[in-house]
Amino acid sequence: MNTIVSLLLDMSTGLAGGLFVVFLVVGLGAGGLITWLILKQVSKKRNAQKLDATSQQVEEMLAKAQEDCKQLKRETILEAKEQVEKRRNEFEQEMREKRSEQQRQEARLNKQEDQLEKRETEISRKEQSLEDQKKNLVKKTEEVDKMQEQVSHQQELMTQELERIAQLTREEAKQQLTEEILDETRRDCAVQVRNLEAQAKEEADINAKNIISLAIQRCASDHASESTVSVVPLPNDDMKARIIGREGRNIRAIENATGIELVIDDTPEVVILSGFDPVRREIARLTLEKLISDGRIHPARIEETVEKVTKELDQQIKAAGENAMFEVGIFGLHPELIKLIGRLKFRTSYGQNVYRHSIEVAQLAGLMAQELGLDVNFAKRAGLLHDIGKAVDHEQEGTHIQLGADLAKKYKENAMIVNAIMAHHGDVEPKTIEAILVQAADAISGSRPGARRETGAGYVKRLEKLEEIASSFKGVDKSYAIQAGREVRVIVKPEMVDDAQALFLAKDIAKKIEAELEYPGQIKVNVIREFRSVEYAK
């Protein structure tokens, strides 16, 4: 098209015809109009063909849909007929079963009616039989009553004859027979009780020894005893003069601030601290060590150091009490009781540290309670608190037992715990088995090897005194203190002391030992009586 236009343009230029250009434009416009008309007609034909095709497809689809509807209708009708037939068959089957069940029930009812009729007949027969038996029983009862009257009369005659022969009334004979039976029963019971007591004591001794030995083996405790004297080493003797200070002002300041007396004698490079309160003595010891280490010793510095050491020691005491709780395995103690337990770390008794002693008693009591199936926590708690009064016995009046019981009551401890504290030295009667275990654990802890310090001279003197007490009784031949003073064996003269007297002699010796001798733990008194008969054949 573009090529034709260009040729025409070339021709128009060649002919110089603007007119030609006009005609050419008109012709092109007419050709475009004709072309547009032709294309429009062709488009209409195509749209008509598509519409015919679409109409044909729609008619085919409608025909197919009508055919499908007829087919579905036929199938639905057939299926409905089948369902109706099936339901009718099921209904007829159910009705047949119900008729059969009704027939069976009618048969059972008829059978039950027959059985009821038979039972009524049987009951009537039995009623008649019972009536006959009742009449016979009335007759026999009358006969028995007559016989009983005869027997009673005969018994009365025989009783009168027996009373005449025995010269005893019926009540007297009954009382005599009852007394004889009671006496015989008492003798049998006494023998049985004696046998049971002997067996129980034998078994109890064996079991107690086993339990105590197991508890001691399982309780791992150190065997070190502690001194009750605090000694502070000095780097040199010149330090003594600095501790004393000008005109003794430093030593007075230390003694006034701590309440502890400082003993500075000729002992080289040593200062001895003397005081009844172990906590104050510990404060004085730590204060003196800090002052010696620091080198600045004057009254103001002394007061400052004492205050600082007191706060630090309070923290240590609280931590020690908590550590004791965790070590024993009990919880829920009052905070003040925890602090008092921590104070026991600086308290000694017979050279034994009371803090370690309380932990050991708690562990031993808990182990024995576990072996016996008792309350382990209760036994441990009572064991840990049994000597709590020793934490304040330097500050308050009274025995450590009474002080400990008062502290337990003050801080809301159980009444049984209070009883165990008061009973651990036998001052009151123990109310629980756990309290008895605390007594045993306290004795074990105080008497084990290495628990308490005792000088050689004091030890020998105690053994001599023990033998002297045992030998002072009449009829004693020899006495020997054995097992490190835990037992004394007393041999008596058999012609002067019999078996019964030997029992009372052992009790008398034990009472005299308790009254006159001081000793840790307990002492076993073993009285031995032996009689030998010797004859020679010539």
Per-residue pLDDT tens for 277-301? Answer: 778 888 888 888 888 888 888 888 8
Specify whether the CB–CB gap between 229 and 263 falls below 8 A: no
How far is residue 345's CA from residue 332's CA, in Å, rounded to a whole number?
20
The one-letter amino acid code at 34 reads I
When mean pLDDT is compared across 180-194, 236-250, 415-429, the lowest value belongs to 180-194
More confident of the two residues 183 and 302? 302
* SS3 sequence of 109-135: HHHHHHHHHHHHHHHHHHHHHHHHHHH
Tokens of 480: 């020997």
Phi then psi for residue 450, to 5 deg, are: 85, 0
Tokens of 91: 């209904």
More confident of the two residues 152 and 18? 152
pLDDT value of position 416: 92
pLDDT value of position 133: 87
Instruction: Please check the confidence at residue 372 and state whether its pLDDT lies above 70.
Output: yes
Per-residue pLDDT tens for 50-71? Answer: 777 887 888 888 888 888 888 8
pLDDT value of position 167: 65
pLDDT value of position 419: 92
The β-bridge partners of 262 are 273
Average pLDDT over residues 197-220: 65
Per-residue pLDDT tens for 510-535? Answer: 999 888 887 766 788 889 888 777 77
Which ranges of 219-267 would DSSP assign to H, the alpha helix?
238-244, 249-258
Residues of the chain above pLDDT 90, percent: 6
How far is residue 440's CA from residue 521's CA, in Å, rounded to a whole number?
9
Per-residue pLDDT tens for 263-281? Answer: 887 677 788 887 777 788 8
Identify the H or E element spanning 507.
helix 499-516
pLDDT value of position 73: 85
Per-residue pLDDT tens for 22-37? Answer: 667 777 777 778 888 8
Average pLDDT over residues 386-401: 84
pLDDT band at 346 (very low <50, low <70, confident <90, very high): confident
Q: Which fold has domain 230-447?
A: Hypothetical protein af1432 (1.10.3210)
Which ranges of 386-423 would DSSP assign to H, the alpha helix?
400-410, 415-423
Instruction: Please check the confidence at residue 5 and state whether its pLDDT lies above 50.
Output: no
**Domain spans, the chain:** 2-165, 168-218, 230-447, 456-528
| Interstrand relation of 348-349 and 487-492 (parallel, antiparallel or unpaired) | unpaired
Nearest CA among 501, 383, 494 for reference residue 439: 383
The predicted model scores a pTM of 0.48
- The phi-psi region of residue 353 (left if phi > 0; otherwise alpha if psi is between -120 and 50; otherwise beta) is beta
How far is residue 304's CA from residue 306's CA, in Å, rounded to a whole number?
6
Per-residue pLDDT tens for 426-456? Answer: 778 888 988 888 888 888 777 654 555 555 5
The one-letter amino acid code at 204 reads A
* Strand stretches in 207-330, DSSP E: 230-233, 261-263, 270-274
pLDDT value of position 20: 59
∠ Cα 204 206 211 (to 5°) = 90
The β-bridge partners of 470 are none
Instruction: Please check the confidence at residue 104 and state whether its pLDDT lies above 80.
Output: yes
Instruction: Please check the confidence at residue 3 and state whether its pLDDT lies above 60.
Output: no
pLDDT band at 223 (very low <50, low <70, confident <90, very high): very low
Instruction: Please check the confidence at residue 424 and state whether its pLDDT lies above 80.
Output: yes
* Strand stretches in 434-521, DSSP E: 476-482, 487-492
pLDDT value of position 217: 54
Instruction: Please check the confidence at residue 230 and state whether its pLDDT lies above 80.
Output: no
In sequence order, what are the residues at sequence separation of 6 or more whose Cβ sits closer than 8 angstroms to the Cβ of residue 207? Answer: none
Q: Which fold has domain 456-528?
A: GMP Synthetase; Chain A, domain 3 (3.30.300)
pLDDT band at 225 (very low <50, low <70, confident <90, very high): very low
